[in-house]
Amino acid sequence: MRLRAKKAFYSSWIQASIGVAVLLGSALGAILSSYLTQAQLESWGWRVPFLIGTLIGPVGFYIRSRVDETPAYKAAKPVESPLREVIKTYPRQTLISFSLVVLWTVCTYAILFCIPSYAQRVLGLPSWMGFSAGMMGGAVLIVATPIVGALADRSGHRPWLLGSAIAIFFSAYPMFLFINQMPGLFSLLVFELVLGLLISGYIGSILAAFGELLPTHVLSTGLSVAYNFAVTIFGGFATFTITWLIASTGSNLAPAFYIIVRGRRQRHWCAAVSRPCACCPSSPVWSFPMSIADPTRLILRNGRLLDLQKGQLISGQEVVIEGERIIDVRAEGEPAPVGARIIDLGGRTLMPGLIDCHVHVLASNANLGMNALQPNAIIMYRALPILAAMLNRGFTTVRDAGGADWALARSIQMGLIPGPRIFASGKALSQTGGHGDMRARGELLLNEPCSCCFRAGAIAGVVDGVDNVRLAVREELQQGANQIKIMASGGVSSPTDPIANTQYSEAEIRAIVDEAAAANTYVMAHAYTARAIRRAIECGVRTIEHGNLVDADTARLMAEKGAFAVPTQVTYEMLAEYGERFGLPADSVAKIEDVRQAGRNALLLFAEAGVPMGYGSDLLGEMHEYQTHELKIRAELLGNLAALRSATSVAAQILQREGELGCISAGAIADLLVVDGDPLSDIGCLVGQGEHLAMIVQGGHVRKNTLV
């Protein structure tokens, strides 16, 4: 009789064990995240909770084998098929049990289990704050649930169920609103305290309620059916559902609405096991605004902004991002909009995303002739890791100088594949025997990369004559090229054209420039020698690629004409060291030294003449990994600030996107890097594979984040 008189109290200890699990789990999460690196967590650290969880097995075995059943259970008449009995005789009671478990499950998962992840990924708080909140919630359940059970034995468990369900219904929205408006440890602890108490009020007597819904001989089966279905659907998918709701509705408060929907349904089922209560409204009508904030608003706070115009780091500023744009750069401390995600940068450097103005993302083979012969599918699949690695290094935008097309650029824009934003040139244009003609001597023009070819691995098309080049330009523009690339001199990677050659007649170059200008774009020209550069500039070419053999007079002409240079010194350093090993033909290897040593001097000549220089790497095959090493070369010769400007503000001018790319200002596209280090004093923090990049934001989307 004593057990029956205190069944809510005794059964509440089962529910209190949920609090023990939450408390210990959060504590373990805090310990693991504090002492293990991200790599260690992903490698083996995630197994630790599972290993600890195996300890529950012996406990279950002991309970099952040593603890006696209750007298009521022993006295109950056995049923041949309890599951059939439950479905046939007690369907309504089982459905009510299922619904009661649903709110229990939704609340414990959304408010207790998921809060560490929500605090980190949605609110942008450090992991230890999320785990601390989880420990608070667990502690509240441990203490409050047995108290509720004891009180329910005196007053009846039904009012506790109904009252707590209504209280949760009313409190979910304001509490989620509270932690979004004032994200921090204090608000998280208050959130867990208040909602933890309400959850305790609900689950503290729920097991006793099940005893009144179902008779003893089918209680175990009926409760098992209701519990397992409810937990599987609403517990197992809780994290997925919450994440999906936030992404779909665009509201950080989506979990609150999810709880409210379940709670509103719950009120009717609670009434089914409750005596009428005069203080409970029979049919309340609730109205909440479903669009309380822009879901994509992101605030980056407590960072040092790299001002490339002044060449200094600025503290006390925060960047507000909405959608793909920066909408404000303001003093820290202003109230955050409702629902905004705030990320504390911890004093790290915040700078614009990098821009590489000369890449070949489809050149996965250093031998461009062999690259052109590869099947399209292989070329595209090999490009995927090249693109992803560029983004991981901090290059949020690249200008492809031959090969990539509109479709590839669009695939990245649509989020189908990770990679930098691409300004595509389509196929570069080359004359017969020019830098884009990869045939060896004696090879017939049977499989050449003609201007209408569709071989993905061919970075250029061969086209001759004024009328034909006009048509080729129009074709590339129609296919979505952002700018036109031409070969105006001999090159290293092509087998039959000496470096000193000039390519295309002036009439052909002028025709190409005219067609590009008609489409409001420009021409970029591969050119090494002063003669080739001068011809190109006088014909209206806007950017000179490489320019290793420029002289002082030609550099001054470029400055007078408002032309840009895109030196690519790193490619010659890497070709000299690795080119032959990675398949560069012997004829090409022999040309490297013709331009390598002069390239460093060209950087100085361009700088002295006042020619703005964009950043370019021009790497091929396995050498793409050295993309950031151009920064080291530029910094050694021109200084860190000039190197940084070449990959940000100057590059944006070349792309004709000044004010949108390469800067941190209101209205700019939100391409941002959070750097562990100061690039102004140590350019090395940007060199490598992105090891020192704590966060990468591209077009307002967080692509990498190690801060949470």
CATH number at residue 565: 3.20.20.140
Between these two residues, 569 and 85, which has the higher pLDDT value?
569
**Model confidence at 406: pLDDT above 80:** yes
pLDDT reported for residue 222: 64
Among residues 638, 635, 649, the alpha carbon closest in space to that of 679 is found at 635
Tell me the C-alpha distance between 272 and 99, whole Å: 11
Mean pLDDT across the stretch 494-504?
A: 88
Among residues 662, 553, 643, the alpha carbon closest in space to that of 603 is found at 643
> Could you tell me the CA-to-CA distances from 202 to 16, 197, 208, 269, 429 in Å, in that order?
12, 9, 11, 13, 73
Output b/e per residue, 464-493; b: 16+ Cβ within 10 A.
beeeebbebbebbbeeebbbbbbbbbbbbb
> Could you tell me the CA-to-CA distances from 480 to 298, 361, 425, 466 in Å, in that order?
32, 17, 8, 22
**Model confidence at 560: pLDDT above 80:** yes
Q: How confident is the model at residue 611 (pLDDT cuts 50, 70, 90)?
A: very high
> Could you tell me the CA-to-CA distances from 313 to 303, 350, 646, 661 in Å, in that order?
9, 9, 18, 19
Question: Is residue 255 located within the same domain as residue 364?
Answer: no
Question: Is residue 382 located within the same domain as residue 476?
Answer: yes
**Model confidence at 257: pLDDT above 50:** yes
pLDDT reported for residue 230: 67
**Model confidence at 658: pLDDT above 90:** yes
Is residue 426 within 8 A of residue 459, CB to CB? The reply is no
Ranges assigned E (strand) in 323-384: 325-331, 341-344, 349-352, 354-359
Q: Which domain-ending residue is among 627, 648, 679? A: 627
Q: How confident is the model at residue 284 (pLDDT cuts 50, 70, 90)?
A: very low
Mean pLDDT across the stretch 412-434?
A: 93
* Cα 18 from chain centroid (whole Å): 33
**Model confidence at 466: pLDDT above 70:** yes
| DSSP conformational letter for 658 | B
Sequence letter at residue 194: V
Question: Is residue 365 located within the same domain as residue 461?
Answer: yes
Between these two residues, 293 and 20, which has the higher pLDDT value?
20
Q: Please write the tens of the pLDDT for every residue from 424-460.
A: 999 999 999 888 787 766 665 544 444 445 678 788 9
Is residue 134 within 8 A of residue 189, CB to CB? The reply is no
In a domain, 314, yes or no: no
Which of 224-238, 286-300, 464-478 has maximum average pLDDT? 464-478
Phi, then psi, of 323 in degrees rounded to 5: 65, -130
> Could you tell me the CA-to-CA distances from 336 to 61, 333, 414 in Å, in that order?
52, 8, 29
- The token pair at 420 is 């930098």
| DSSP conformational letter for 436 | T
Tell me the C-alpha distance between 519 and 151, whole Å: 79
Output b/e per residue, 368-384; b: 16+ Cβ within 10 A.
bbebbebeeeebbebbe
Mean pLDDT across the stretch 374-381?
A: 86
Q: 622 lies in which domain range?
A: 354-627
Question: Is residue 263 located within the same domain as residue 358?
Answer: no
Sequence letter at residue 184: G
Is residue 674 within 8 A of residue 694, CB to CB? The reply is yes
Q: What is the number of structural domains in the chain?
A: 2
Phi, then psi, of 504 in degrees rounded to 5: 70, 140
CATH number at residue 160: 1.20.1250.20
pLDDT reported for residue 445: 52
Question: Is residue 373 located within the same domain as residue 248?
Answer: no
pLDDT reported for residue 185: 85
Q: How confident is the model at residue 267 (pLDDT cuts 50, 70, 90)?
A: very low
- Picking from 139-153, 321-335, 566-580, which range would have the lowest pLDDT averaged per residue? 139-153
Among residues 306, 356, 291, 298, the alpha carbon closest in space to that of 323 is found at 298
In a domain, 679, yes or no: no
pLDDT reported for residue 683: 98
Is residue 317 within 8 A of residue 273, CB to CB? The reply is no
Ranges assigned E (strand) in 297-348: 298-307, 312-322, 325-331, 341-344
Percentage above 90 pLDDT, the chain: 43
Q: Please write the tens of the pLDDT for every residue from 311-329.
A: 999 999 999 999 899 999 9
- Picking from 124-133, 471-480, 487-496, 589-598, which range would have the lowest pLDDT averaged per residue? 124-133
In a domain, 290, yes or no: no
- Picking from 65-79, 94-108, 310-324, 384-398, which range would have the lowest pLDDT averaged per residue? 65-79
- Picking from 356-365, 486-495, 504-513, 669-678, which range would have the lowest pLDDT averaged per residue? 486-495
pLDDT reported for residue 249: 62
In a domain, 6, yes or no: yes
Tell me the C-alpha distance between 197 and 171, whole Å: 11
In a domain, 552, yes or no: yes
Among residues 454, 343, 360, the alpha carbon closest in space to that of 400 is found at 360
- Picking from 111-115, 372-376, 514-518, 683-687, which range would have the lowest pLDDT averaged per residue? 111-115
Strands 421-423, 298-307: pairing kind: unpaired
In a domain, 180, yes or no: yes
Q: How confident is the model at residue 291 (pLDDT cuts 50, 70, 90)?
A: very low
Q: How confident is the model at residue 335 (pLDDT cuts 50, 70, 90)?
A: confident
Q: Which domain-ending residue is among 575, 607, 627? A: 627
In a domain, 446, yes or no: yes
Question: Is residue 362 located within the same domain as residue 244?
Answer: no
**Model confidence at 286: pLDDT above 70:** no
Among residues 373, 477, 367, 384, the alpha carbon closest in space to that of 429 is found at 477
**Model confidence at 37: pLDDT above 60:** yes
pLDDT reported for residue 43: 73
- Which residues have C-beta within 8 Å of that of residue 17, sequence separation ≥ 6? none
Average pLDDT, the chain: 83
Which of 47-56, 57-66, 325-334 has maximum average pLDDT? 325-334
pLDDT reported for residue 508: 98
Class of residue 28 by CB neighbours under 10 A (exposed 0-12, middle 13-18, buried 19+): middle
pLDDT reported for residue 518: 98
Q: How confident is the model at residue 609 (pLDDT cuts 50, 70, 90)?
A: very high
Q: How confident is the model at residue 270 (pLDDT cuts 50, 70, 90)?
A: very low
Class of residue 441 by CB neighbours under 10 A (exposed 0-12, middle 13-18, buried 19+): exposed
> Could you tell me the CA-to-CA distances from 303 to 12, 315, 316, 599 in Å, in that order?
47, 7, 8, 37
Between these two residues, 162 and 449, which has the higher pLDDT value?
162
Helices (H), 70-184: 71-75, 82-89, 91-107, 115-121, 127-155, 157-181
Q: How confident is the model at residue 76 (pLDDT cuts 50, 70, 90)?
A: low
pLDDT reported for residue 516: 98
Secondary structure of residue 354 in the 3-state scheme: strand
Mean pLDDT across the stretch 672-684?
A: 97
Question: Is residue 251 located within the same domain as residue 369?
Answer: no
pLDDT reported for residue 215: 65
Is residue 353 within 8 A of residue 672, CB to CB? The reply is yes
Taking residue 205's Cβ as centre, other Cβ atoms within 10 Å add up to: 30
> Could you tell me the CA-to-CA distances from 561 to 249, 519, 524 in Å, in that order?
51, 20, 14
Question: Is residue 211 located within the same domain as residue 358?
Answer: no
**Model confidence at 208: pLDDT above 90:** no
Question: Is residue 8 located within the same domain as residue 156?
Answer: yes
Between these two residues, 530 and 263, which has the higher pLDDT value?
530
- Picking from 103-117, 217-231, 260-274, 685-699, which range would have the lowest pLDDT averaged per residue? 260-274
Q: How confident is the model at residue 250 (pLDDT cuts 50, 70, 90)?
A: low
> Could you tell me the CA-to-CA distances from 668 to 324, 325, 642 in Å, in that order?
9, 6, 21
- Picking from 56-60, 152-156, 289-293, which range would have the lowest pLDDT averaged per residue? 289-293
- Which residues have C-beta within 8 Å of that of residue 156, sequence separation ≥ 6? 275
Sequence letter at residue 271: A
Question: Is residue 140 located within the same domain as residue 254?
Answer: yes
Between these two residues, 595 and 545, which has the higher pLDDT value?
545
- The token pair at 398 is 């690249």
Question: Is residue 230 located within the same domain as residue 368?
Answer: no
Is residue 533 within 8 A of residue 544, CB to CB? The reply is yes
Tell me the C-alpha distance between 480 and 458, whole Å: 17
- The token pair at 229 is 């279905």
* pTM of this structure: 0.62
Is residue 135 within 8 A of residue 74, CB to CB? The reply is no
Taking residue 179's Cβ as centre, other Cβ atoms within 10 Å add up to: 25
pLDDT reported for residue 28: 83
In a domain, 175, yes or no: yes
**Model confidence at 276: pLDDT above 50:** no
Question: Is residue 257 located within the same domain as residue 380?
Answer: no
Q: Which domain-ending residue is among 573, 606, 627? A: 627
Q: How confident is the model at residue 603 (pLDDT cuts 50, 70, 90)?
A: very high
Tell me the C-alpha distance between 426 and 460, whole Å: 8
